[in-house]
Amino acid sequence: MIKPKEFAKRRDHLMEMAGDDSVIIVRSAAEKIRNNDSRYPYRQDSDFMYLSGFNEPDAMLVMLPQEKSGHVIIFCRERDPQREMWDGLMAGTAGALEHVGADEAFPISEMKQRLPELLHGRERIYYDLGKDPDFDQLLIGWMNDFRSETRKKFLAPDEIVALNHNLHEMRLFKSRTEITAMKKSARVAASAHQSAMQICKPGLNEADVHAELLHTFTRHQCEAAYIPIVGGGANACVLHYITNRDLLNDGDLLLIDAGAEYDGYASDITRTFPVNGKFTGAQRDLYQLVLASQLEAIDEVRCGNPWEQVHETAVRVATEGMIELGILKGSLEEALEEEHFKDYYVHNTGHWLGLDVHDVGEYEIDGHSRVLEVGMVLTVEPGIYIPESATAVDEVWRGLGIRVEDDVAVTKDTAEVLSADICKTTDDIEALMAL
Ligand code: GLY
Ligand code: MN
Ligand code: MN
């Protein structure tokens, strides 16, 4: 669990970056209706979670940087016994004050009355416009008000600055406690993937395997970090396949992309394995190529290497192998330069990982790929997808979709693979499935 001290440290750091003449506003996520009066399970906004650890809707953090330590105010729902009978306990202002470690807490119903006062004396507001148009209008309305003649007596903000640059840069670098949470998330996902391999057999439905994944996540008090992809046969070539309702056929591969969410932190893992536990010759060849591409790419995850080098390495190895297997024609130089590999290697090789599966943080600085640094966590996930319609290649390859994805932390030394617990060589997969 992330401790209150760490949340306070994050807020202090953000306030220091923002400067004494500013105010920072961060709002919770809204509850979302699924249909009629049924709601989706609540998921807190990741920025709000990162700064508060507070998991309720209708809340807002106001941070007022000051010379020594900043002043932190939380607005939240007041406790309501009537509502608690339906929805369970709420923290209320007293609970939120303690949980968040704020200096003051007020009911969210008082926000409109109190917030304008808090803005006085500040030159700029750090706030991310665009998430809630109603609140954006409120804020802009107040600022216009401040500018009008009658209010000139106040020093008032006349600028709204995007918060996400500073905040997302902080989120990109994970602390030791964050890495520990991410390891736990990866361990739970590892256990889910291994159980899926163990129960898988021809005649099951993709839905059976999907259920097995959710069973493991739930037993470990985790959520699914995203809807799992459970694609048998050519369904693996549909990158965002989440229907998960087809029969699993003897002789096909199964691609599973599933990650857990623990304490807000995601894992994001893909394994591809034979439904019947035994790779065919072509499946083995293509799988080993994707795996070789992934292992070489992981080797590039080192402090000081440019981020894009991971992708470039994965693509080079995969392209070389596709030429050797006869899937691509021509020379390696030509296939890379003219991007023929993109016929079958269609996505990037990874992304930042953290509170969001596709986590925040810039990939480029001043138009150049940023360099990997200690504390960054990324996925490494090469994939080759040959649709059934790919008549340019030999029939044996058609309908194969293979991705291998792991979560990797940049450390001082070699990369640390957080999801190393799941077998991924053809031999290890076959041995596990034969048990
Ligand atoms: N699960 C989404 C991704 O691999 O990026
Ligand atoms: Mn994934
Ligand atoms: Mn991914």
Kindly report the CATH number that applies to the domain delimited by 4-170: 3.40.350.10
What is the C-alpha separation between 319 and 311, in angstroms, rounded? 12
User: How far away, in angstroms, is 316 Cα from ligand 1 center?
Assistant: 21
Q: Is the CB of 178 under 6 A from ligand 1?
A: no
Which atom of ligand 1 is closest in space to residue 225's alpha carbon?
1
Identify the pLDDT of residue 120: 85
Ligand 1 centroid, distance to 258 Cα (angstroms) = 8
* Nearest atom (ligand 1) to Cα of 405: 4
Closest listed ligand to the CA of 379: 3
> Which amino acids are annotated catalytic?
37, 240, 257, 268, 347, 351, 358, 381, 385, 403, 405
The whole-number average pLDDT for the span 228-241 is: 98
Interval between CA 405 and ligand 3 midpoint (Å): 7
Q: Given this model, what pLDDT does residue 237 score?
A: 98
Residue among 106, 120, 129, 193 nearest 154 (CA): 120
Question: Which tokens belong to 63?
Answer: 């941070």
Q: Letter for the amino acid at 29?
A: A
CA 259 to ligand 1: nearest atom: 1
Cα-Cα-Cα-Cα torsion 157, 162, 165, 171, nearest 10 degrees, comes to 90
Q: How far is the CA of 158 from the centre of ligand 3 (A)?
A: 40
3-17, 137-151, 291-305 — which is least confidently predicted?
Answer: 137-151
User: Ligand 3 center to residue 285 CA distance, Å?
Assistant: 23
pLDDT at 153: 59
Residue 267 falls in which region: left (phi positive, over 0), alpha (psi -120 to 50) or beta: beta
Could you tell me the pLDDT band of residue 347, with boundaries at 50, 70 and 90? very high
Ligand 1 atom with the smallest distance to the CA of 347 is: 5
pLDDT at 144: 86
Q: How far apart are the first and last CA of the chain?
A: 35
> What is the CATH class of 173-433?
alpha beta
Mean pLDDT value of segment 168-179: 97
Residue 376 has pLDDT above 90, yes or no: yes
Q: Name the residue type at position 97.
A: L
For residues 63-76, give the mean pLDDT: 92
Residue 154 has pLDDT above 80, yes or no: no
Q: Which atom of ligand 1 is nearest to the CA of 226?
A: 1
What's the rounded Cα separation, in Å, for the pair 388 and 101?
57
The residue whose CA has the least distance to atom 4 of ligand 1 is 268
Measured distance CA(36)–CA(29) in Å, rounded: 19
Extract the tokens encoding 423. 């077998």
- pLDDT value of residue 151: 55
From 257, 290, 346, 385, give the residue whose CB has the most ligand 1 atoms within 8 Å, as the site to mutate: 257
Kindly report the pTM of this predicted structure.
0.96
Domain positions in the chain: 4-170, 173-433
Q: Average of pLDDT values for 78-85?
A: 97
Query: What's the whole-number mean pLDDT along residues 270-279?
Result: 98
Most ligand 1 atoms within 8 A of CB, residue of 290, 381, 385, 407 to mutate: 381
Q: Is the pLDDT of residue 346 over 60?
A: yes
Average pLDDT of span 179-191:
98
| pLDDT for residue 188 is more than 80 | yes
pLDDT over 90 at 155, yes or no: no
pLDDT number for residue 146:
80
DSSP codes of every residue in 296-307: HHHHT--TTSBH
Residue 89 clears pLDDT 90, i.e. is over it = yes
Quote the pLDDT of residue 148.
Answer: 74
Whether 157 and 143 have beta carbons less than 8 Å apart is answered as: yes
Q: Which residues contact 205 (CB under 8 A, 6 or more apart)?
A: 245, 246, 247, 248
- At position 417, the amino acid (one-letter code) is V
The confidence score (pLDDT) of residue 115 equals: 95
pLDDT at position 129 is 94
Give the separation between CA 134 and CA 8, rounded to whole angstroms. Answer: 29
Q: Whose CA is nearest to atom 5 of ligand 1?
A: 358
Closest Cα to atom 3 of ligand 1? 268
Amino acid identity, position 385: Y
pLDDT of amino acid 54: 98
Q: Is 356 in the pocket of ligand 1 (CB under 6 A)?
A: no
Pick the atom of ligand 1 nearest to 229's CA.
1
pLDDT of residue 147: 76
Taking the CA of 193 as reference, the closest ligand is 2
Give pLDDT, residue 156. 74
User: pLDDT by residue (tens digit) across 381-432?
Assistant: 999 999 999 999 999 999 999 999 999 999 998 899 999 999 999 999 999 9
* Strand intervals (E) in 127-282: 159-161, 223-224, 229-232, 253-258, 260-262, 265-266, 269-274
pLDDT band at 100 (very low <50, low <70, confident <90, very high): very high
Is any atom of ligand 1 closer than 6 Å to the C-beta of 348?
Answer: no
Average pLDDT along the chain? 96
Sequence-distant (≥ 6) Cβ neighbours of residue 433 within 8 angstroms: 197, 198, 200, 273, 274, 277
Q: What percent of the chain has pLDDT over 70?
A: 98
**Is residue 268 lining ligand 1, measured as CB closer than 6 Å?**
yes
How would residue 150 be classed by pLDDT, with cut points 50, 70 and 90? Answer: low
6: left (phi over 0), alpha (psi -120 to 50) or beta: alpha
Q: What ligand has the least distance to the C-alpha of 378? A: 3
- Say how many Å lie between the CA of residue 411 and the centre of ligand 2: 22
The tens digit of pLDDT for each residue in 41-66 reads 999 999 999 999 999 999 999 999 98
Determine the residue type at 397: W
Measured in angstroms, how far is the CA atom of residue 269 from the centroid of ligand 3? 7
Q: Does ligand 1 come within 6 angstroms of the Cβ of 257?
A: yes
- Model pLDDT, residue 167: 98
Strands 33-35 and 38-39: antiparallel
